[in-house]
Every structure is written in C-alpha cells, then in structure tokens.
Amino acid sequence: MLISDAYAQAAAPAAADPTGGLMGMLPLLLMFVVLWFLMIRPQMKRAKEHKALLDALAKGDEVVTQGGVVGKVTKVSDGYVGVEVAANVEIMVQKQAVQIVLPKGTLKAM
C-alpha cells in the first residue's frame, strides 16, 4: 500500500486547560466594561440631570425646548408646561421637551 492510514488523535479532556473558559470570556467582559464607562454610565448621568431639571421647573423660568422654542414658563403641571413665547401667546409643551433652563433675565424682549 502506498498511502498509510490516518488515525485521529484522541481529544484532550476539557478539564485539562483550567484557563480556557476564563480566557475565552475575557474579551467579552472587557468590551462590556468599556461600553459601560464610555456609553451607558454617561447616558444615565445625563438622564438623571435632566430629570432633576424637570423636577425643579417652576413658573417664571426661562426655557428652551428641544424644538428650539424659547419662552417663559407660565404653568407647570404633571406632564405639560405652559410656555409664553410672545406677548399673550402661550403654547403647551410636554415637560420632557424642555431642554435647557436659561439664567433669569436672558429674555428681555418679552
């Protein structure tokens, strides 16, 4: 016979390499930690600050909405805020739409 027979080697038992499972999971764990510190944690902090801003919203505050509308708060309810955008012109927006509270006295032309 010109071709010799090929025999498969016996597979090593899984317990032979004690670091095999941990080393396989290490890149996945490292990616999760990086994702946590670069994306998830700052987003949670930003959401917490926005919630505190909305809770502190009061009548007379000058605000900018997410749509870019600038005005003075005239009414505050649970889910909505009345914003005066011009003399005798008031709009109702959702509280979540308020993006920034401006320093007092920023809007002088109203």
Question: Is 70 found in the same domain as 107?
Answer: yes
Q: How many domains does the chain have?
A: 2
Question: Is 109 found in the same domain as 62?
Answer: yes
Residue 14: per-residue pLDDT: 55
Residue 90 sits in a domain whose CATH number is 2.30.30
Percentage above 90 pLDDT, the chain:
68
Residue 7 has pLDDT above 80, yes or no: no
Question: Where does residue 60 fall: left (phi above 0), alpha (psi -120 to 50 degrees), or beta otherwise?
Answer: left
Query: Where does the pLDDT of residue 49 fall: very low under 50, low under 70, confident under 90, or very high at 90 and above?
Result: very high
Note the pLDDT tens digit of each residue in 64-98.
999 999 999 999 999 999 999 999 999 999 999 99
Which distant-in-sequence residues (6+ apart) come within 8 Å of 102 by Cβ?
61, 62, 63, 64, 70
Domain that holds residue 78: 58-110
